[in-house]
Structure formats: structure tokens, C-alpha cells
Amino acid sequence: MYKLFLCLRYLRRRYLALVAVVAVALCVMMVLIVVSIFDGFLSKVEYAARGLCGDIVVDASSISGIGLYDEFIVYLKDEAPEVKAATPVIYTYGLLRVGHQTNTVQICGIRLPERLAVTQFQRDMFVQDGWKNTSFDPPLERLISRTEKHMELIKSISLRESSKPDDKRDEHLLDKLYIADINVAGQREMLIQVSLRRRDIETIRREIVAEQAKPADRRDDDTIRKLTEQIEEVAKRLDRDFRPPEKRIILGLGLSGMSFRTPDGETVRRVTPGRRAVLTLLPLGRGLSITNTPSTATFTVIDDARTDLYIIDSNTVYVPFKTLQELTEMGPGYSADNPTQIATPARCSQIQIKVKAPYASDSELIKVRKKVNTAIKKFTEAHPSFAQSFSSFAEIIIPPDAQTWREKQAKYIGIIQKQRAVVTIMFGVISLVSVLMVFAIFHMIVTQKIRDIGVVRAVGGSAGGVMQIFLGFGAATALLGSAIGLTGGYFFVRNINEIEDWMSNWFGVRVYDREVYLFDKIPNTVEPMTMLWLAVGAIVAGLIGVLLPAIKAGRMQPVEALRYE
């Protein structure tokens, strides 16, 4: 009984112990903050990576791609009932020109809305944010309203910036906002023109219907013909300015020159729907040879999308699958003798697979991936053209390879994981300081308390009991320290963005540059397990620190303790 009583009483009255408490608290807080933020980034990146490519990815083993993909998907769903959905994708590289801006881009040919069942493509889009049926053909009214809303945003940012005092105003930002405003206004004007022309067509169509409804003797076929011609003319112009769905493009939000971020984290777009974009790419569907000539096509920007992975968003554009298949010459090849007979099937470069919810865990996913690979082997045996490569030398058949999303993104995720490990180890080493602090402080406390030890022994306390008093004291110190540290760290992480705002207001420096990172906010989640582990770690560290002083206290001869001056 006396042990607990004494260690608690010492904790309350020995102010030196509070130094140890503070040391432990600071270390725990530091590690909690670092681990939480890294974990936050990691889970964001993982979430983004998984959202990007689905659960399992089947990559073509050669530049020629994967044939018979639709047939394979049907086969795969039979073989592996864990598979929920799958969609073919084409990847290639090219040049994107918008206005005066040219970017090298990765072009991603996707089927919408089919791909939505596999990836989280619809997240964070400009026009179709959170829509169920994201497509290359969203309603025009929505395009206009979103564009107008964006103009309001630009205006409000300009207003905010220009109302700042002279020395704080960012003239460069104001210039950029001005240019963005002009661009977006022009694109809105274009969209409205399109809308008006559509209405024109509607009106003429109604006139035709009215004319056709007249009795034959009063009907003027000439008028109908003229009106029809008018429609054709307007439609032609419409197609040129605002291309049909197969010629539309979704930009990655992060392509340089298309948008920028304000220091406060707002994304300002210069390129919004309605803008024209030209893609130039080398069709590699028939293999690589010097006879390849680049194909060029003009698209209308219809939306922009964001995966949260800067490396993706800064260089990716999305176009309809079919369109890209044609541009890359990955469409079906017809036999030379009989132009109606397909000699080589149409191809894609990747198949993305989503599994049913119960199989989404890492370990289950690996099992499913193995199944997919088995299915690939069997399917390749039955249909060699699935994996056929158009090499100039020989026809080689290498089955494509399936990888889980984690395997596929290991490169990116691995970097962050490694960084996290390094930083955690670093802070762990720093935390050794707290062990040393506890050791030094308790060594002092034990020295100060030698006479008390003698008294406790004189009234019948055992050597073990004396040791336990100090072990308990140390554990209580660590417990209190980690409780304070965890509470402090928790509130720090939860409010990290506010704290960062506050710091930037006071010191004028942004630690977290929102123009650089693609995440609007610093991750502010704290895992309960992290807290638990840290508390356990702190207590173990505290016990290690107090162990030697406690042993020393226990070993002390009572007589000598009593004689100690």
C-alpha cells in the first residue's frame, strides 16, 4: 500500500520530477505530430493511388498492348468471382497545346462512366464533382454555371487581394488573376454561344416540324430543305467550336499554365470548359518504326480532374477510350485480302480491376491477383492474340502481368514510407534524450531521498518495495508525461492548419506552401493506435530510465541510508 501512496506523493511534491514529465511530454508530442502527419500524407497518397488505378492492374507486356480485352474481362469475371468490375485503359504520351502553352502529357484513354466502377475518377472534378455518371458529355448548363461560379471566385480573390494595404498586396497575384479572369470570361462566352446555337437548331427544328405538319398541298418542300440546310450549317459550326463527346478532353488539374494556386490554397483555373486543346501523339499501335507519322486532333476541354497525386495531375489528360484507340492506331487491324475480316483485335494498354469489398484488404488482394494471373495464362493459351506483340522481328507472346495497386504504386508509396521511417527513427533517437533525462532526474531524486529510503526500511519496508516505489514513480511520471504529450499532440495535429494560418499571420512565413503541395490542407488525423503505442513506448522508456536509480535505491543498506547526511 505504502508504495503507491509514496510514489504518488513524490510525484505531487517533487518538482524535479515535473521536469521529467515535461521531457517525456515533449518527446511524445513531437513523435505523435510527426507520425500523424506522415501517416496522414501516406493514407492520402495511398487513397489517391488506389483511386487512380483500381485494386488490381493488368499491364501490357509490350507496346502493342492487350487484345481481346472485353472478352478477357467477361472471362475473368467468370474465373474470379471476387472481381466486381474491370475496364480497359490506353496510356500513351504526347504533346498538349492549349493557347500558347505546350505540355508533354501522359494521355489516358478511358471509358466513362464505366471506369467509375473501378476507380474514383469522379472525385474533385471541376464540373462533375461527385456526379454519379461522370462522362465526356455533361450538360451545358452545368458547364456554364460552374464557369460563372469560378469567375465569382476569381473576383472575390482579386477583391480580397486588392483591398490589402499596399505593402502586403501581391501585385503578381493580381496580374495572374486578371489574366485568368479574361480567359475564363472568354470561355464562358463561347459556352453561351454554343448554348444559343443549340437553341437556334431547336427553333429551326420546330419550324421544320411545323412545316411538315401542314397538309401536303400547302407544304413548301423548298422551305424544309432550306431549314434543313440551315440546321446542318449551324451544327457544323457547333461541332467545330464545341466538339462532340468523342473529341472532348478532361485535363489533370495541375498541368502547368492551366491553373495556379493562391497562397491561401484556392485553385484558380485559367483553362475552363469550352477551351480548345490540341493533342499530338505518335501512333504506336502498329509497333515502333520510322514510318510512324504523328497524329493530331483537336479537343474541347470539358472538365478537369484531380487525383491528389501531383506527379499524376501535373501531366495527365483524359480522353475517350475509343478516340485514343483510333489516334494510336490500336483499333482493329483488317485482313489485307478481306477488308471486313479482323486480323488483329483492337487493343488497350492496361486493364484496371476492382474487387468486391470483402477482398479489398492487402492480403486478400494478393490472392485475387494470383487468380487473375492464372486467368491471364489460361486465356493467353486459348487466345494468343490477347498477348500478341507486333515486333518487327517476330511475333512474341508474353502474357501481361497483374499487380495489386500497392505493388504498382510501390515506387511512390515506398518513398513516403521510407521518409516516414527515417523521420520516426530520428525522433525516436531524440526521444532517447527523454530516457536519459528520466535517468538523470531520478538519480538525483533517489539521492535526495536516501534518508526516506532508510526510514521506509526501518519501519519494515522491503528492498523490493523501495525499488517499486521508484519504478512506480518513474512509470507515473512517464504516464503523466505521455498523457500530457498525447493530449497536446492531438490538439496540435487536429488544429494544425489553424496553427499554421496563425503562424503565417504572425511571422509572415508559410511553413506549408499551398502552392507547392497539392493537398489543400495538412493532414490532421490522429490514429488511436498510434497514441496507444506511443503511450506504451513512453512508459517503457520511463521504466528503462528509472530502472538503474530504482535498483540503486532498493540495494541500499538501511543502516547506511539512515546514516546518510
- What does the binding site for other proteins look like in residue numbers (CB under 8 A)? 1-2, 4-6, 9-10, 12-14, 451-452, 454-463, 465, 557-559, 562-563
CB of 558 to other proteins, least distance (A): 5
Shortest Å, Cβ 535 to other proteins: 24
Comparison of 454 and 481: residue with beta carbon closer to other proteins: 454
Q: Least CB distance from residue 1 to other proteins, whole Å?
A: 4
Closer residue to other proteins, CB minimum distance, 113 or 465: 465
DSSP SS3 for 373: helix
Cα–Cα distance measured from residue 265 to residue 168, given in angstroms and rounded to the nearest whole number: 17
**Minimum CB distance to other proteins, residue 462 (Å):** 5
CA triple 321-327-330, angle to 5 deg? 70
Q: Return d(Cα 397, Cα 390) in angstroms, integer.
A: 9
DSSP assignment of 238-276: HHHHS--GGGEEEEETT-TTTEEE-TTS-EEESS-TT-E
Nearer of residues 8 and 433 to other proteins, judged by Cβ: 8
Per residue, the 3-state secondary structure of 469-507, as one string, reads: HHHHHHHHHHHHHHHHHHHHHHHHHHCHHHHHHHHHHHH
Query: What's the gap between Cα 232 and its chain centre?
Result: 44
Q: Cα-atom radius of gyration of the chain, to the nearest Å?
A: 34
Strands 295-305 and 248-252: parallel
Buried b vs exposed e over 71-106: b needs ≥16 C-beta within 10 Å? ebbebbbebbebbbbbbbbbbbebbbbbeeeebebb
Task: State the nearest-atom distance from the C-beta of 451 to other proteins, in Å.
Answer: 6
Whose Cβ is closer to other proteins: residue 459's or residue 509's? 459
User: Which CB sits closer to other proteins, 205 or 555?
Assistant: 555
Tell me how many degrees the CA angle 142-148-153 measures, rounded to the nearest 5.
Answer: 125
C-beta closer to other proteins: residue 458 or 540 = 458
Q: How far is the CB of 2 from other proteins (least distance, A)?
A: 4
Query: Nearer to other proteins by C-beta: 14 or 111?
Result: 14
At its nearest, how many Å lie between other proteins and the CB of residue 463? 8
| DSSP structure class, residue 430 | H
**Cβ closest to other proteins, residue 15 vs residue 507:** 15
Cell output for 518 = 497539392
Torsions phi, psi for 290 (to 5 deg):
-70, -10
| Smallest gap from residue 45 Cβ to other proteins (A) | 50
Q: Which is closer to other proteins, CB of 341 or CB of 462?
A: 462
Helix (H, G, I), strand (E, B) or coil at 194: helix
User: Measured at the alpha carbon of residue 306, what is the angle toward residues 504 and 111, in degrees to the nearest 5?
Assistant: 175
Pairing mode of beta strands 83-98, 101-110: antiparallel
What is the nearest approach in angstroms of other proteins to the Cβ of residue 438?
Answer: 19
- Is the preceding peptide bond at 113 cis, omega within 30 degrees of 0? yes
Q: Measured from the CB atom, is 4 or 430 closer to other proteins?
A: 4
CB of 358 vs other proteins, minimal distance in Å: 48
